Amino acid sequence: MSTSFLVPGARPAQGDAPPPGPLLRPVHIPLLARALGGYSSGELYWSLVDTVDAISPGVYLVTDPQGRIVWLGKAAGGRGVAGRIRKHLAESWKRAVFHRVWVAPACDQISRSALEAAEGWAADALAMRTRMPHRAWPLSTNWLSLIGLQSVA
């Protein structure tokens, strides 16, 4: 294991799996849909990473086989969440660690800046910035103006 894991906030060496985050709890899951506000386009659902078929944009959370959070991300274009997960799986450590993905689908009309704000809001709501300091997420500063009051039919 790389010694970079011993320094808070340090990024792991290229190719190394970073330490996992907290155990995913039932209270965490609805926060993904809430992050999307009015841009949420359906019910949250999960699938195994190798069978995810979400072609919409959205916010997603990946866990390892023990149920610990290992990734929080967003996806737009390029076959949505499914396409993004497939890109992740090109990295060997992600193939070895990624097990289940929770998907909060978003409407196709969501802008890139709104999707980034939603990812940042989810990172804040899940306290990921302190629990996984080796990762970086977009800021949620403009979340309310971009997402919070949005109503999409």
- What pLDDT does residue 149 have? 55
- What pLDDT does residue 15 have? 60
- What pLDDT does residue 86 have? 93
Instruction: Phi first, then psi: give them for residue 94, nearest 5 degrees.
Output: -70, -40
**Residue 11, pLDDT above cutoff 60:** no
Ranges of each domain in the chain? 17-138
Helical spans, DSSP H, in the chain: 29-36, 80-88, 92-97, 112-125, 128-131, 143
**Residue 9, pLDDT above cutoff 70:** no
Q: pLDDT tens, 51-104?
A: 999 889 999 999 999 999 999 999 987 789 999 999 999 999 999 999 999 999
- What pLDDT does residue 14 have? 52
- Among 72, 68, 40, 70, CA closest to 56: 40
Q: pLDDT tens, 27-44?
A: 999 999 999 999 999 899
- What pLDDT does residue 12 have? 47
Please tell me the total number of residues recorded for the chain in this structure: 153
Q: pLDDT tens, 126-147?
A: 999 999 888 899 999 889 999 8
